[in-house]
């Protein structure tokens, strides 16, 4: 099923892109919850973290490296949180795997 992120990846919708490789794209969240709020995701359409498999182990490492590089670029390498919402009850609203990189302020407790 196509999602809004699938359409951004295909270039059908605009985004404020901060990072891209052949497998990964990252762009600013449209409704930022922190001074730095970047969405990092594979271009491959994987619905969420729980849908990843053994075949995606390399991709997971690349997503983490992307997060490190983006945090450095954004000047928040010592002040960020990387998270993913898995499933509607965890707050997932777009069913294309993505990680939120939040930073640039004092981050509060998680629920």
Torsion of CA 89, 92, 98, 101, to 10 degrees: -80
Nearer to ligand 5GP, 31 or 54 (CB): 31
> Which residues sit opposite 41 in a β-bridge?
25
3 binds ligand 5GP (CB under 6 A): no
- What secondary structure letter does DSSP report for 76? -
27 binds ligand 5GP (CB under 6 A): yes
29 binds ligand 5GP (CB under 6 A): yes
49 binds ligand 5GP (CB under 6 A): no
92 binds ligand 5GP (CB under 6 A): yes
List of residues contacting ligand 5GP (CB under 6 A):
4, 15, 27-31, 39, 85, 91-94
Catalytic center residues: 98
């Amino acid at each position: 099923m196509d999602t809004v992120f699938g359409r951004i990846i295909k270039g059908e919708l605009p985004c404020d892109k901060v990072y891209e490789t052949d497998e990964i794209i990252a762009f600013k969240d449209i409704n930022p919850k922190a001074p730095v709020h970047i969405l990092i995701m594979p271009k491959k359409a994987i619905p969420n973290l729980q849908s990843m498999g053994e075949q995606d182990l390399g991709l997971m490492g690349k997503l983490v490296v992307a997060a490190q590089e983006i945090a450095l670029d954004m000047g928040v390498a010592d002040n960020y949180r990387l998270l993913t919402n898995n499933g509607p009850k965890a707050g997932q609203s777009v069913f294309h795997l993505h990680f939120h990189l939040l930073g640039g302020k004092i981050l509060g407790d998680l629920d």
